[in-house]
């Protein structure tokens, strides 16, 4: 009985996972980037706002997106993961990391183009909050393109800003 209940969900997820065609109106011959701190996918009233995030991404017609503050897979949010949701609804590849177990707020990369390599890292922060970085290479129609997505710490400490900026600049 459990198999009969869960099988339709697995089939839907499998079909969605293999569809990487992007969405209507999105450019497919060049990179059009977007970065956004989505505040964990909540609206101003504290409700999940995943559909509006999706709507804005489609309006901008970005095909390579870095979202920060994406850690939404928590019990109080019924473990509804915005990265998984957007990957399926936008029909894009995605990468997430570093893990929020490392005390970051979550960095996610979405791309119409295949992600060939992705390194995830917690940026140095001896005085403030941990910040995350994704350093990735995309296969843009046969040409490799490097993309860096970063969420700097929201701290007033000069040392944090210097260390984090130096780490990113040396890539």
Catalogue the active-site residues.
151
d(C-alpha 49, C-alpha 39), whole Å:
10
d(C-alpha 92, C-alpha 129), whole Å:
30
Query: Between the CA of residue 63 and those of 51, 93, 134, 151, what are the distances in Å?
Result: 17, 10, 16, 19
Percent helix, strand and coil across the chain, each rounded to 5? 35, 30, 35
Contact 139, 146 (CB under 8 A): no
Token pair 């997820």: residue:
13
């Amino acid at each position: 009985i459990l198999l009969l209940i869960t099988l339709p969900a697995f089939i839907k997820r499998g079909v969605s996972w293999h569809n990487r065609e992007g969405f209507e109106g999105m450019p497919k011959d060049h990179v059009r980037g977007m970065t956004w701190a989505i505040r964990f996918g909540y609206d101003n009233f504290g409700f999940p706002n995943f559909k509006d995030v999706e709507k804005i991404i489609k309006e901008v017609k970005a095909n390579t997106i870095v979202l920060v503050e994406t850690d939404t897979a928590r019990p109080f949010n019924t473990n509804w993961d915005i990265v998984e949701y957007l990957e399926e609804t936008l029909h894009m590849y995605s990468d997430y990391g570093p893990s929020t177990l490392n005390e970051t707020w979550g960095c996610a990369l979405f791309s119409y183009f295949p992600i060939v390599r992705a390194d995830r890292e917690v940026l140095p922060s001896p005085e403030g909050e941990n910040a995350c970085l994704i350093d990735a290479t995309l296969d843009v129609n046969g040409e490799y393109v490097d993309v860096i997505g970063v969420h700097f710490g929201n701290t007033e400490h000069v040392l944090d800003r210097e260390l984090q900026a130096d780490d990113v600049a040396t890539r």
